[in-house]
Amino acid sequence: MNSDSFRFEDMEIWIRAVDLSMPVFDIADNLEERKRYRFSEQLRGPMLSVTNNMAEGSGSDSDKDFAHFLNIARRSIFEVANMLIVFHRRRLIPDRPVEILRELVELSKMSLAFRRTLLAGCGSEGPERRPGIRKSG
């Protein structure tokens, strides 16, 4: 970890979630342009919750606490997926966001694996042993 960065900035799971937030925010922006403000904000909220909870959890002083925040992030992943599916069925978004949904599934799997590792106490050797965290340098 770079001393000029936060721990979460080295987490592969957080990086992927931030990358995914870009197309999700593009969908929200499009909804806003069409005066669907409430839907736009409802979509942005849980997407931010995913990255916020990963970041907040990385600042925890215990693996159990970190795992709790990963659980919240994972639940927000499901919330984003649900909204995208419902918005598509209601024709609020024209195309089913297949790639976004695939990446949400992957993020869900990663967060679950990371959480299980934390709860099992297998990650005490440092970030390089934890799924979802990549080695810096």
Q: What is the 3 state secondary structure string of the chain?
A: CCCCCCHHHHEHHHHHHHHHHHHHHHHHHHHHHCCCHHHHHHHHHHHHHHHHHHHHHHCCCCHHHHHHHHHHHHHHHHHHHHHHHHHHHCCCCCCCCHHHHHHHHHHHHHHHHHHHHHHHCCCCCCHHHCCCECCCC
Query: Residue 70: which CATH number?
Result: 1.20.1440.60
Residue 134 falls inside a structural domain: no
The answer to whether position 14 is within a domain reads yes
- Could you tell me the pLDDT band of residue 123, with boundaries at 50, 70 and 90? very low
**Which tens digit of pLDDT belongs to each residue from 83-119?**
999 999 999 998 899 999 999 999 999 999 999 999 9
**What pTM was computed for the model?**
0.84
Mean per-residue pLDDT for 18-45?
95
| Banded pLDDT at 60 (limits 50, 70, 90) | very high
Mean pLDDT of the chain: 89
User: What domain count does the chain have?
Assistant: 1
2, part of any domain: no
